[in-house]
Amino acid sequence: MFRQASRLLAQTLRAGLRPFSSDLPAAPTSDSAFIESWKKVIPNIEPPKTPSNFLRPRPATPTSIPSKITVNFVLPYASELSAKEVDMVIIPATTGQMGVLPGHVPTIAELKPGVLSVHEGNDVTKYFLSSGFAFIHANSVADIIAVEAVRIDHIDPSLVQKGLAEFTQKLSSATTELEKAEAQIGVELHSALNSALSG
Amino acid sequence: MAMAALRREGRRLAPLISPQSITAVRSSLISQEQAPLGLRSISTQIVRNRMKSVKNIQKITKAMKMVAASKLRAIQVKAENSRGLWQPFTALLGDTASVDVKKNVIVTVSSDKGLCGGINSTSVKTSKALKKLTAGPEKETKYVVLGEKAKAQLVRDSKKDIELSITELQKNPLNYTQVSVLADDILKNVEYDALRIVFNKFQSVVSFLPTVATVLSPEAVEKEAESGGKLGELDSYEIEGGETKSEVLQNLGEFQFSCVLFNAVMENACSEQGARMSAMDSSSRNAGDMLDRLTLTYNRTRQASITTELIEIISGASALQG
């Protein structure tokens, strides 16, 4: 009987500690203005949820510069890095490679195809990104959103060379504006890949 | 089965009844069961037909539940992975659901196939309520409908307000390229100040929450940033890349829309499979209950008809003897 009681107690403790849904933040906030205006016009239906209900809480802006920068690197199919503390990231902005250290000024940067390198201590992880955006917030949190990303060591150099040759040939034989634009994009991508692999 | 029981009864009663009456009884019983005439056996045939069809329905709905469960498993993983996609945008630009703009476009995400419970009706209800909420003088609200089910419901009373309707979204497995092409289509053909995406967010297999995600056009973002409020801090951000700030903001807005739409479509697909699973589960349970009730009725009717036959035989025999 005592064995059962202790088992039940352990179960309830475990159940209490486990969160109901992994996506709900600890303190869900909601858009109160929206809910108010909804209730006034449509009192019978429950107001729908908004993204702020499901937003993971973000750290507040610290007074002094923190030692590490928190990186969230997301793709449509996966969150590559989620709230990882690193020393520095180098992002391929359209204006060139940009190094981001803790305490960087808040920035919205548009990205071009290139290499993202994440420096933590002595390890450097390099990813090749197709384009995307990067936000650097005042609280030393960097959000990098890309459409596709692969680790550099997963790329096959021979295929890159083949692709580059193919698109250069297409560019020279292109007739319409659309074909020219598509071939131009292919050439830019493959030459960026090439320089990423060699650099 | 009924015939075997009757034969057994006949053999038991053999000493009481003469051979001629046994054959007469058996043939009369056969004719009564097959012919739908007479008050007693008409129900056994009909009940048996009903039982067969209810059993088939139970099998079909059970199979549909298994299919929905396996599809849900596959797509749930992808939907949960895509949840990180919209978080940075909301962190930067805030949740602007209560924004007051002139041109609202409501993008309703729904399924193509039915039998998925009430999720499409909730989406349509929320869209209609949003239209009422954002209505006002000099303001206009239009719909962009994704999926057959919402289109069927909205066409009934708001046909002229539907700008664009897209169906057969899930013919090929959902991927970002398809959704970004769709987003591009919508952005090119529809004029908007604010896009409101209505979908069912997948919280668990039994719970789906109607959600509204708002994406503002670059001009609306500028206006909100100037007037302060949620987007007031946007000016403190440096803009890297592009020729001008407005060009970057435009790219940002378009990217935000495609990311948020991708997540919305994924979550809605998950909710659809989950809702179909629970709908089919309750349907097969219902069919099982109905089958139990029908079996009881069938047995009762069968036994009653046997008893009546026996009474007739015995009273006939006793009339002959006595």
Residues B263-277 have pLDDT tens digits of: 999 999 999 999 999
Q: Closest Cα of chain A to B250: distance in Å?
A: 11
What stretches of B122-269 adopt beta strand conformation (E)?
Answer: 140-146, 162-166, 194-204, 207-216, 238-240
Same domain, A115 and A189: no
Q: Taking a C-beta distance cutoff of 8 angstroms, is the pair B124, B110 a contact?
A: yes
Same domain, A146 and A160: no
Backbone angles phi, psi at A53, to 5 degrees: -65, -30
Q: What is the pLDDT at residue A11?
A: 53
Q: Taking a C-beta distance cutoff of 8 angstroms, is the pair B269, B208 a contact?
A: no
Q: Taking a C-beta distance cutoff of 8 angstroms, is the pair A126, A115 a contact?
A: yes
Same domain, A117 and A141: yes
Which H or E element spans position A78?
Answer: strand A78-86
Q: Which residues contact B53 (CB under 8 A, 6 or more apart)?
A: none
Q: What is the pLDDT at residue B32?
A: 43
Same domain, A136 and A164: no
**Is A55 at the interface with chain B, CB within 8 A?**
yes
User: Would the pLDDT of B18 be above 70?
Assistant: no
Q: How far is CA B3 from the centre of its chain?
A: 44
Domain-located, residue B167: yes
Domain-located, residue A58: no
Show the tokens assigned to A92.
């391929």
Q: Do A135 and B211 touch (CB under 8 A)?
A: no
**Is A83 at the interface with chain B, CB within 8 A?**
no
Q: What is the pLDDT at residue B4?
A: 57
Domain-located, residue A80: yes
Q: What is the mean pLDDT of residues A173-186?
A: 86
Q: Do A135 and B91 touch (CB under 8 A)?
A: yes
Q: Do B211 and A37 touch (CB under 8 A)?
A: no
Top residue of A34, A40, A46 to mutate, by most chain B CBs within 10 Å, is A34
CA–CA separation, B267 vs B260, rounded Å? 11
Range of B192's domain? Answer: 59-228+245-281
Domain-located, residue B98: yes
More confident residue, B36 or B262: B262
Separation of first and last alpha carbons in chain A: 68
Domain-located, residue B215: yes
Which chain A residues contact residue B242 at CB under 8 A?
A: 94, 110
Q: What predicted TM-score, i.e. pTM, was given to this entire model?
A: 0.81
Q: Which residue in chain B has the smallest CA separation from A56?
A: B87
Same domain, A138 and A165: no
Same domain, A128 and A169: no
Top residue of A38, A91, A144 to mutate, by most chain B CBs within 10 Å, is A38
At B229, is the pLDDT very low, low, confident or very high (cuts 50, 70, 90)? low
At A18, is the pLDDT very low, low, confident or very high (cuts 50, 70, 90)? very low
Q: Do B98 and A37 touch (CB under 8 A)?
A: yes
User: Would the pLDDT of B53 be above 90?
Assistant: yes
Q: What is the pLDDT at residue B36?
A: 42
Q: How far is CA A126 from the centre of its chain?
A: 14
Q: What is the pLDDT at residue B157?
A: 86
Q: Taking a C-beta distance cutoff of 8 angstroms, is the pair A110, B251 a contact?
A: yes
If we measure between CA atoms, which residue out of B306, B305, B303, B310 comes closest to residue B16?
B310
CA–CA separation, B145 vs B106, rounded Å? 8
CA–CA separation, B311 vs B45, rounded Å? 22
Please, what sign has the CA dihedral across residues A166, A168, A171, A172?
negative
Choose the weakest-confidence range: A173-177, B7-11, B128-132, B283-287.
B7-11
Residues A65-110 have pLDDT tens digits of: 888 888 989 999 888 888 888 888 999 888 888 898 888 888 888 9
Q: Which residues contact A81 (CB under 8 A, 6 or more apart)?
A: A71, A72, A73, A118
Same domain, A46 and A11: yes
Q: How far is CA B312 from the centre of its chain?
A: 54
Domain-located, residue A60: no
Same domain, A139 and A81: yes
Which chain B residues contact residue A19 at CB under 8 A?
A: none
Q: What percent of chain B has pLDDT over 70?
A: 85
Same domain, A15 and A73: no
User: Would the pLDDT of A3 be above 80?
Assistant: no
Q: Across-strand partners of B146?
A: B109, B166
CATH of the domain at A138: 2.60.15.10
More confident residue, B3 or B10: B3
Domain-located, residue B10: no
Q: What is the mean pLDDT of residues A136-158?
A: 87
Which chain A residues contact residue B88 at CB under 8 A?
A: 72, 74, 135, 143, 145
Q: What is the pLDDT at residue B296?
A: 94
User: Would the pLDDT of B211 be above 90?
Assistant: yes
Choose the weakest-confidence range: B35-44, B119-128, B180-189.
B35-44
CATH of the domain at B110: 3.40.1380.10
User: Would the pLDDT of A32 be above 90?
Assistant: no
Domain-located, residue B88: yes
Show the tokens assigned to B297.
């009725």
How many domains in chain A? 3
Mean pLDDT in chain B? 85
Q: Do A145 and B240 touch (CB under 8 A)?
A: no
Residues B67-112 have pLDDT tens digits of: 999 999 999 999 999 888 888 888 888 887 778 888 999 999 999 9
Burial A84-103 (b: 16+ CB within 10 A, else e): bebebbbbbbbeeebebebe
Domain-located, residue A63: no
Same domain, A129 and A140: yes
Domain-located, residue A59: no
Q: What is the pLDDT at residue A58?
A: 82
Same domain, A75 and A27: no
Q: Do A145 and B255 touch (CB under 8 A)?
A: yes
**Length of chain A measured in residues:** 199
Q: Taking a C-beta distance cutoff of 8 angstroms, is the pair B215, B257 a contact?
A: yes
Residues A164-176 have pLDDT tens digits of: 888 888 888 888 8
How many domains in chain B? 1
At A194, is the pLDDT very low, low, confident or very high (cuts 50, 70, 90)? confident
Q: Do A79 and B125 touch (CB under 8 A)?
A: no
Q: What is the pLDDT at residue B288?
A: 97
Range of A79's domain? Answer: 69-153
Q: What is the pLDDT at residue B31?
A: 43
